[in-house]
């Protein structure tokens, strides 16, 4: 009873963006960013009294290694009626993602040994540049945004990370790294750019988790 959808049309694209956000959150890190290379197939099923369920087949690429792609399947369930309930997402990655162990360790020790806590803003800059030293910070912002995108998407939204407005490292007594971000999320349908505070904890073995997030009042009005 699942209906085939044209992958070129927006409903499928939006569901794919949610799946990608979820996967970024789960598997992304300072050494790994994932992008959608192609949406291969999309189907939709209307589940009575529950919501709309999308079945997707995606081809993803590694941001740091464009020649490397990986296939995955995903299910995205948007819940009926409730705009505030995050979609349920399940993703299965076929095959192996490139190991980032070395890069992760290097990043971890570099940040831990900083005397002054890292602070940066406007990544990328106005001309699209990301200084190489801040590339992992940018990728980690992608992880945090992935969480926000997953948690806040509906069938009528499509979010992308537009820019890191500000990032501040917060030194911790435990082994995690902590970064307090203000990211700008671009929402495609309303065309709004929304500032969002989000705190990410990250550890080379344990991965990333968002500990706190708060949407800020809209982008400058004037």
Partner 1 sequence: MWALLLLIGAASVSAHLQDLSFDGQKVFRVIPQNDEQVEILNFLASIMEVDFWQPDSVTTVRPKMQVDFRVEAEKSFKVEDLLKESGMEYQVLIDNLQAALDAQFDSKVRTAGHSYEKYNDWDTIAAWTADIAAQNPDLVSRSVIGETYEGRPMYLLKLGKSGSNKKAIFVDCGFHAREWISPAFCQWFVKEAVETYGKDTVLTTLLNKLDFYVLPVVNIDGYVYTWTNDRMWRKTRSKNAGTVCVGTDPNRNFDAGWCTVGASKSPCAATYCGSAPESEKETKALADFIREHLSTIKAYLTIHSYSQLLLFPYSYTYSLPSNYQELNSIASAASKQLASLHNTKYTYGPGAKTIYPAAGGSDDWAYDLGIKYSFTFELRDTGRYGFLLPESQIKPTCEETILAVKYIANYVLEHLY
Sign of the Cα torsion 79, 161, 135, 108 reads negative
Number of chain residues interacting with partner 1 (CB under 8 A): 32
Q: Which of 97, 151, 162, 197 binds partner 1 (CB under 8 A)?
A: 162
Q: Which of 190, 211, 214, 216 binds partner 1 (CB under 8 A)?
A: 190
CB 114 within 8 A of CB 133: no
Cβ count near 192 (within 10 Å)? 13
Please say which residue, 100 or 145, places its beta carbon nearer to partner 1: 145
Please say which residue, 44 or 163, places its beta carbon nearer to partner 1: 163
> Residues near 88 by Cβ (< 8 Å), separated by ≥ 6?
75, 76, 77, 79
Residue 102 burial by Cβ neighbours in a 10 Å radius (0-12, 13-18, 19+): exposed
Rounded least distance, CB 5 to partner 1, Å: 11
Q: Which of 93, 188, 207, 213 binds partner 1 (CB under 8 A)?
A: 188
Site string for partner 1, 26-65 (x = CB under 8 A): ---------xx-x------------------------x--
Q: Can you tell me the distance from the alpha carbon of 9 to that of 7, in angstroms, rounded to the nearest whole number?
A: 6
Q: Can you tell me the distance from the alpha carbon of 164 to that of 137, in angstroms, rounded to the nearest whole number?
A: 9
Q: Which of 113, 126, 173, 205 binds partner 1 (CB under 8 A)?
A: 126
Rounded least distance, CB 185 to partner 1, Å: 10
| Site stretch for partner 1 (CB under 8 A), options 51-59, 72-80, 107-115, 155-163 | 155-163
Q: Can you tell me the distance from the alpha carbon of 175 to that of 186, in angstroms, rounded to the nearest whole number?
A: 33
Peptide bond before 124: cis, by omega within 30 degrees of 0?
yes
Please say which residue, 90 or 190, places its beta carbon nearer to partner 1: 190
Q: Does 192 bind partner 1 (CB under 8 A)?
A: yes
Q: Can you tell me the distance from the alpha carbon of 215 to that of 162, in angstroms, rounded to the nearest whole number?
A: 15
CB 121 within 8 A of CB 166: yes
Q: Does 213 bind partner 1 (CB under 8 A)?
A: no
Q: Does 186 bind partner 1 (CB under 8 A)?
A: yes
Q: Does 113 bind partner 1 (CB under 8 A)?
A: no
Which positions lie near partner 1, rule CB under 8 A? 8-10, 17, 35-36, 38, 63, 122, 124-129, 160-163, 184, 186, 188-193, 218-222
């Amino acid at each position: 009873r699942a209906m085939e959808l044209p992958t070129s049309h927006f409903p499928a694209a939006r569901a794919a963006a949610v799946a990608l956000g979820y996967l970024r959150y789960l598997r992304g890190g300072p050494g790994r960013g994932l992008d959608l290379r192609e949406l291969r197939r999309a189907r939709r099923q209307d589940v009575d009294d529950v919501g709309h369920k999308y079945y997707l087949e995606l081809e993803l690429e590694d941001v740091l290694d464009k020649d490397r792609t990986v296939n995955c399947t995903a299910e995205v369930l948007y819940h009926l009626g409730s705009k505030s309930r995050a979609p349920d997402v399940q993703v299965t990655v076929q095959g192996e993602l490139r190991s980032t162990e070395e890069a992760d360790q290097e990043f971890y020790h570099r940040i831990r040994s900083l005397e002054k806590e890292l602070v940066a803003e406007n990544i990328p800059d106005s001309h699209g540049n990301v200084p190489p030293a801040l590339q992992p910070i940018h990728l980690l912002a992608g992880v945090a945004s992935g969480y926000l995108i997953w948690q806040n998407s509906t069938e009528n939204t499509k979010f992308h990370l537009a820019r890191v407005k500000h990032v501040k490292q917060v030194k911790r007594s435990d082994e995690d790294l902590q970064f307090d971000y203000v990211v700008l999320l671009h929402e495609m349908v309303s065309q709004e750019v929304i500032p969002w505070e989000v705190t990410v904890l990250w550890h080379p073995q344990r991965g990333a988790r968002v500990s706190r997030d708060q949407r800020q009042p809209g982008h400058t009005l004037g």
